[in-house]
Structure 1
């Protein structure tokens, strides 16, 4: 099985890296918004993409184009993300390509789901929170990535 693991920088990326053992035995392709992260995943394919968010429409459009191209080229079975906007974009595009999609909301969102997490909960195959009190019918809690 081929898995695209995508996130933006900072805590999203650290949490995504903590998930690597869950994908042992599968082909893992990493995507993030910082080229220097390539060195953190030396045995995996890596793509650097533009960062984008709701206040940077030009960056967001560039991000959409790049992610579309990566998903078309890689043809993953599963896309997993810890956020933020690039991860949500990947889930939306992946869904159009028939990929299974998994959103893991950041541990930093301890009072409520992130905006992207709320959107993902409407269509992703699986959505996880890292806080038990935030679980709902559409959002599961199975523990946290960072302890």
Structure 2
């Protein structure tokens, strides 16, 4: 199984990295910002940089659609996993066109309100994961697996 782990640097990337027991033995690649924390954490990993800032930035959304198109055509992942933020959107939507399954993990600090990214990827997400039971009222089809921390 080939896995694409896509997310902003910082807390989103830290969330994905904490899933190491899942991805450690998989053929995997990462898509994140070319920032110091990502370069340090992922120094021995296959990484594709994406454009930032992403939140509410139409220009970089368009640019990241291009990145997603190129990366997904080249890598052909079976599964795309993200905990946000906006860079996940083009990867989830285009990933579905390429036949990938998608898993979105809503961030830990959201207890009773959806994120913009969560709302945007819900239509194409095969498994939506929340970390608080209260979030199942916001995302009725979500699965609550508890805290990643």
TM-score by length of 2: 0.90
Alpha-carbon contact 1:52-1:58 (below 8 Å) kept: no
The residue that corresponds to 2:28 in the other structure is 28
Alpha-carbon contact 2:106-2:118 (below 8 Å) kept: yes
The residue that corresponds to 1:82 in the other structure is 83
The residue that corresponds to 1:143 in the other structure is 146
Alpha-carbon contact 2:61-2:90 (below 8 Å) kept: no
Segments of 5+ residues of structure 1 without an aligned counterpart are none
Structure 1 residue 133: Cα displacement: 1.1
The residue that corresponds to 2:3 in the other structure is 3
4+ long deviations beyond 4 Å? none
Q: How many residues align?
A: 146
Alpha-carbon contact 2:80-2:95 (below 8 Å) kept: yes
2-structure distance, mates of 1:46, 1:123: 24
Deviations 1:69-100 (A, max 9, x none): 11111110100001011112211110010000
Q: CA RMSD in A?
A: 1.5
Segments of 5+ residues of structure 2 without an aligned counterpart are none
Structure 1 residue 54: Cα displacement: 5.2
Alpha-carbon contact 1:3-1:80 (below 8 Å) kept: yes
